[in-house]
Amino acid sequence: MDNAKIGGYIQMLRRRAGLTQKDLAERLNISFQAVSKWETGESLPDTGLLLELSDILGVSVDKLLTGGAFITNERKLMRLEDVKIGFELIEDIGRCFGEKCTFYTAMIDGINEKMNMDILEYLSVPETRDVMYAEVLIQGIMDGKTVDMEEIESGFVNKHMVEVIRDYFKKADA
């Protein structure tokens, strides 16, 4: 485990959540110095705190302990949660850099041109957002990855998308 990478990730998530080290420490009933040590890579959170810490920061424990690395390639399991986070990160870039930032506009323009769509419009509508999630999962299935159909069934409001993903999943298994 890379303590510095994990610490940097904790710091980024804490800031994104709008928490100070003291705020996070109070919610976990620990000292702010302990949080500081995590963020500098001097130490790691106690295992007894991992579930609560991951809940507060809004990520899974495995993602926390990999410093934010997507481990789907290692396990070949695509998680709907990771797909949703990926799209949220696209939106976060606009908020972080500014929607007029050349880097952000070039990224959005590139996606729009390649996909022949308006991604920001699609992201603004829950039904089309579900379609984009399904598209990413289907591309992953076609590339040899797997999905947890129970997660898919419980994570999609649009049951038609569940059936489409299930069909691709069955074809890939055959």
Q: Where are the domains of the chain?
A: 3-65, 74-173
In tens, the pLDDT along 141-154 reads: 998 888 999 999 99
pTM (predicted TM-score): 0.57
User: For residue 141, with 0-12 CB atoms within 10 Å meaning exposed, 13-18 middle and 19 or more buried, which class applies?
Assistant: buried
In tens, the pLDDT along 30-82 reads: 999 999 999 999 999 998 999 999 999 988 888 888 888 755 444 588 999 99
Task: Give the amino acid at 47.
Answer: T
Q: Report how far residue 130's alpha carbon sits from residue 125's, in angstroms, rounded to the nearest whole number.
A: 9
Tell me the C-alpha to C-alpha distance, in Å, between residue 36 and each of 1, 25, 154: 18, 9, 37
CATH fold, domain 3-65, is 434 Repressor (Amino-terminal Domain) (1.10.260)
Task: Give the amino acid at 59.
Answer: V
